[in-house]
Amino acid sequence: MKFRGLFFFLPLLLVSAHAADLMLKNDFTDPKLAQRRAMRGDWKFAGGVASCTQDDEIYKKFKDHGPILFYDLAHTDATVRFSFKPEGAKSVVFTANGADGHVFRLVVGGAGTSVRAFPPESKDRASISVGQEKVALKSGEWVPVVVTLRGGKATVKIGADFEKTYEHASYARPKTNLSVGFSYGTLSVRDVVVTE
């Protein structure tokens, strides 16, 4: 009898433990999610997908910065998952930011992928390259991305075939938000999940 009760509660404990790890989930069914700021373009939310087409006038107004989804989320270590589908976009950018500026950046472009760090001791807050990869942007395909930031390490997974860990001490800094942005064309984003 005691074991039967244990087997009844075990699945509930596992579900509770998993739910405790969840920091943010955006399936784009709520067009006004409190933690999300959809900026620099006319973002549409339908069918579990956020999509936006770059407006060239807005792009110029924001000094050549395209549409972006910001998520206000204080964290230090986290795993961020999302999928994107570009249509004519030249680059897709994922950034983790701290109170004093950028911390980590992943840029997937037509010529390849760049992983960057932003050392706080840099006077002009310039980024430095931590890695250059041959993973290129593919138009019209959904691409799953997983970025895990733990201490001074960042593990990046793109699609089914690429995974690599990068190191830079500045990655360990506290973060205040994260973002997914792009330049040119149209970008669709789905299934944004952040866990501890």
Q: CA–CA separation, 94 vs 161, rounded Å?
A: 19
For residue 133, give both structure tokens.
Answer: 């990869």
Give how far the C-alpha of residue 31 lies from the chain's centroid of Cα atoms, to the nearest Å: 18
- In this predicted structure, the answer to whether residue 85 has a pLDDT above a threshold of 60 is yes
Q: Quick one: how far is CA 24 from the chain centroid?
A: 12
For residue 14, which phi and psi values (nearest 5 degrees)? -65, -45
pLDDT tens for residues 109-164? Answer: 999 999 999 988 766 667 788 889 999 998 999 999 999 999 999 999 999 999 99
23-195: which CATH number, 1.10.150.120, 3.40.50.920, 3.40.50.2300, 2.60.120.200? 2.60.120.200
Q: Which residues pair with 85 in a beta bridge?
A: 188
Identity of residue 132:
Q
Per-residue model confidence (pLDDT) at position 15: 42
pTM for the whole structure: 0.87
Domain borders along the chain are: 23-195
Kindly tell me if the per-residue pLDDT of 78 is higher than 90. yes
